[in-house]
Amino acid sequence: MGKSSLLEALSLVTANQSFRTKWLADAVQTGQKGFLAKAKILFGDLLFDIEISYLNNKKSILINGRPFDEESSFFGRLAAVIIPPNVHELIQGAPPWRRHFLDSLLSQIDPLYCHHLSRYFKGLRQRNWLLKKKDFKLCPCFERELSKAGAYIIERRRHTVKRLKVFVLDAFQSLYDPSSERDIDVEYQTEAPKTDSIEELADYLATELGRRRAQEATLGATLVGPHRDDLEMMIGGQAARRTSSQGEARLGSIALKLAQGRLIAEETGELPALLVDDFCAFLDDTKAYRLFQQLKGFGQLFLTKQSPFGYDGGESYTFEMVNGKIQSPKAMEPNAVTQKQLLPA
């Protein structure tokens, strides 16, 4: 009906990313040449007009009529946390899911992180290209940039995961069962030495990149650096990726997302918006109710659901989507759809 597409547009104008695809070409409706997402966002006392368009394989961002680039720290100010239906992939999926989670979190609390992340991947692409050609003359230049940017990324990820642990455990136990002793833990996995010194991390990366250059040339790929790291989740003392059920993986992944929002709020002083696609999907009534209690602690909350919302959420607005269009403008009145509050079993 278009519920997820509406939420996807919201994620674009807040987090500058789609939660459904990494490639914006995949977000274009079949038979169309592109898309345009527009929004007015009140942030504090300031009103922002945001336009994000994608046409002819080119993305364009306008904020109050002025063009902004992809690396702008502006989007870190409009913090948003997105919980998609396939959120369990955060634990059970491949490592890129978890690296993307860390990058998304850090990009919203540290403007310098966006800068270093962009420089790192630009340098990585250039070095891989040189490795495939077996042309090592310029490799040291790119390796110096990779070492500086990579060291910053590793240090910030490691520090952030340490702070994230408490929030993840609290959210998971509240969702799973407040009386249960079932616990969850997160660890940042990297080959880099255990040090908080960015200089030492940079020296390590520079040494390893130089040492492995000939070996990596046979594969045409860089095998050391933060693009190879992972986030290890442990539920009940066991590696969650290998041993958890899909239900546990879903709760653990939601706990990670809630922890992301708590950390953003603590770091920035602003409650992030929360976007939840297909709310209550694959959750029983008790856990869905517990999740809703957690969600109420955030800022603006956007939920999509196939049926009318069943909880008393206070001041709220209901929109009915039919074939990609909002069909019920009268539903914009607060609490237009109110049903008996569901209580936990």
Asked if residue 199 belongs to a domain, the reply is yes
Q: Looking at 10-19, 82-91, 202-211, which range is the least confident one?
A: 10-19
pLDDT tens sequence across 110-159: 989 988 999 999 999 999 999 999 999 999 999 999 999 999 999 999 99
pLDDT band at 70 (very low <50, low <70, confident <90, very high): low
pLDDT band at 95 (very low <50, low <70, confident <90, very high): very high
Do 165 and 96 share a structural domain?
Answer: yes
Average pLDDT value for the chain: 85
Do 43 and 91 share a structural domain?
Answer: no
Q: Span 243-250, mean pLDDT?
A: 88
SS3 229: coil
The larger pLDDT score, comparing residue 272 to residue 308, is at 272
Do 136 and 66 share a structural domain?
Answer: no
Asked if residue 321 belongs to a domain, the reply is no
The pTM score is 0.85
Rounded distance between C-alpha atoms, residue 324 and residue 333, angstroms: 21
Rounded distance between C-alpha atoms, residue 293 and residue 273, angstroms: 15
CB burial string 237-257: b at 16+ within 10 A, e below: eeebbeebeeebbbbbbbbbb
The domain in which residue 252 lies consists of: 82-269
Position 336 pLDDT exceeds 50: no
CATH number of domain containing 54: 3.40.50.300
Do 31 and 12 share a structural domain?
Answer: yes
Do 249 and 195 share a structural domain?
Answer: yes
Kindly report the number of other CB atoms within 10 A of residue 69's CB atom. 9
Q: Which of 206, 234, 269 is the last residue of a domain?
A: 269
Asked if residue 129 belongs to a domain, the reply is yes
CATH number of domain containing 205: 1.20.1050.90
